[in-house]
Amino acid sequence: MAQKEDIIINCGNSHVSANVFRAGPEGLVLKSSGLETLHHDLTKEDAWLDSLVSALEKLSSKLSLKGEVRFIFPGNLLLTKTIRVPHVDPEKQRKIVAFELSQKMPFPLSDLIWDYQIIDDDGVEEEVLAFAVKPEVAETFSERMVGIGLIPTQITPAPVLDYIAVRGILGDAPDEQSEVLAINIGAKSTNLLFINPTGFLIRTITIGGNALSQNISDSLGITFEKAEILKKGYFSQEISLAEDDASVGIIQNASNQFLSRASQEITRSIVTYKRLKKGKSPQKIYLTGRGALLPNLAQYLIQSQQLQVEYFDPLSSVTVGSGVPEKVKPLLPFMTSEAVGLASNVFLGDSQKNSSTINLLPSSKLKSLGLKQKLPYISLSLFIFSLLPLSSILKHNNFQEEIIDKKQRIEKDISILEKSINELNSFHQGFTFTQNLIAEVNLSQQPLIENSKTIGLSHEIINFIQGIISQKNIGDIWLDKFSIKKQINNNVDTRNLVNNDLVLSLSGRYLVRLNIETDESEKRDALIELDRQKKENLTAYFENIPHIEKIIKKSFSIEGKGDLFNRNFSHFEYDILLNLK
């Protein structure tokens, strides 16, 4: 008897992996596995699906994949909300979750495909993690998959699957050992999974491998794709660079910045978790995801977090079959944690608390896809019946009536299928119109958004400029003009400016005080020297204000607009380029 197998495809932002699992006498078995890198501009989300389909066509040919597939979606395609609801009977639970969730989601629940999972339950309240996807996203994705022979039976979010894999390794560990933090570093984001005896908590931080690649791209002045290739090749030692190569220092500096920023975000998350859990904190950190391959990551976290850090091996309880290529095996621990979690749930059942999986593929879509798959068989049946000898059929009237009846039922099924397809096409047109409308609204609101940024920036800069009053080495100063604008004076050097640059224009006067008595012959020189010092102090103060990129124009008048020698004041004007990052 053939053993049941399940194909699980993990659709990442920068790569896609396919794993075929089965359950054998020895437990869960990884029969075959493959990985393909997605080749597209990772900063353009619209290009992801085409690149994914192209990569899956190669994987399907390489691993002979076809038929029903469970898909794992990346978190950036989903809407995620965490809510708390009263502990109630299971039959009432979904209604209460739907009510609470409708208050939190940015879209009506009726316009979304959604599902949820209980992640913590203290007997009084339940913490619920809900995921939703726009119907057009799931519909388009499913249709493209069917087009290459992969029939979706489940679309489940990636963040929750690490919990099943880690909990399967921890087993019935004592409470103090059950407080762990699993860090899955992906391309666009990093998932922090806090696991405790009663459940788990997920926090996503927007730091991933792409941030390191972008930093290298900006520093070296190369395209993002070339920076990604350089990063992977350098850290995997497939690319060798001379020690005196300037690129080495830039890559190392970018790596250190990434480690520092990631560690700071992890520290903030641990502090938040301790506050929510009344002082409890993780005792160990598990690292997984392809971003965890970054050298010195574990050592850096050990020093910065003062915790035990290990690389998580989801395959420690899985038998790796002979069909897995040797060159893929070293990467398996870093790319299979979500797939192992899903496979454990499918084959080993819901043996662990809070280990149910979410399905964001609507039942109506499942039925439609099933009918599409039956169409060739229906057509073949009609063809076969048309070839039967009429003489034999006429001799058996009862059998003839049965055949005619069956034909009518098949034709009815085809009619229903065509109607269903027409309805789906109509829905798709409606969804496309709504999507285009949203894009137009967002575009029309862009000027308002830009103005709001300028207003906020103005408030911040005004607050810093007010600090001039308290500076002992400046003092006695007032402003005549303060403005932030894109249009600048014609006499300003515009060679290094672009259309979106903002320029702060300031002008005013300051008093030059003589604190000691001097002769008239020495007074002029003393005023000039004090005026020079005040110019330097004022310029230095402006240069150190946050959001200041550089001073592109400055001028001072001790005569005319100013009157240094008679009334002891000078006039100043500045044009300053602002840093909008």
120-125 mean pLDDT: 81
Confidence (pTM): 0.61
Q: Which two tokens stand for residue 177?
A: 């050992």
pLDDT range class, residue 19, cuts 50, 70, 90:
very high
pLDDT range class, residue 53, cuts 50, 70, 90:
very high
Each residue's pLDDT tens digit, 289-319: 888 888 888 888 888 888 899 888 888 888 8
Higher pLDDT, 118 or 391: 118
Each residue's pLDDT tens digit, 499-548: 567 888 989 998 888 877 777 778 888 888 888 989 988 888 888 888 88
Report the range of poorest mean pLDDT among 138-147, 195-204, 368-377, 438-447.
368-377
258-278 mean pLDDT: 87
| 382 pLDDT above the threshold of 80 | no
Residue 483 CB: number of other CB atoms within 10 A?
10
Instruction: Give the mean pLDDT of the chain.
Output: 82
Helix, strand, coil in percent for the chain, rounding step 5: 50, 25, 25
154-164 mean pLDDT: 86
Pick the closest to residue 200 from 154, 166, 174 (CA basis): 166
Give residue 68's pLDDT.
93
| 580 pLDDT above the threshold of 60 | yes
Each residue's pLDDT tens digit, 450-508: 666 667 777 778 877 777 767 777 878 888 888 888 755 555 555 555 556 788 898 99
Q: Give the contacts of 409 (CB within 8 A, at least 6 positions apart).
A: none
DSSP 224: H
pLDDT range class, residue 2, cuts 50, 70, 90:
low
| 194 pLDDT above the threshold of 60 | yes
Give residue 59's pLDDT.
92
Residue 187 CB: number of other CB atoms within 10 A?
22
Strand, helix or coil at 242?
Answer: coil
| 1 pLDDT above the threshold of 50 | no
Give residue 146's pLDDT.
92
Most confident of 152-156, 230-234, 319-323, 407-411: 152-156
CA atoms of 206 and 380, how far apart (whole Å): 52
Report the range of poorest mean pLDDT among 39-43, 380-384, 432-436.
380-384
Give residue 18's pLDDT.
92
**How far lies 119's CA from each of 344, 357, 368, 495, in Å?**
18, 11, 32, 56
Give residue 376's pLDDT.
55
Q: Give the contacts of 345 (CB within 8 A, at least 6 positions apart).
A: 164, 355, 356, 357
| 371 pLDDT above the threshold of 70 | no
Instruction: Give the H or E element holding residue 513.
Output: none
| 430 pLDDT above the threshold of 90 | no
Report the range of poorest mean pLDDT among 37-51, 85-99, 254-268, 403-417.
37-51
The phi, psi pair for 152, rounded to 5°, reads -70, 130
Contact 139, 365 (CB under 8 A): yes
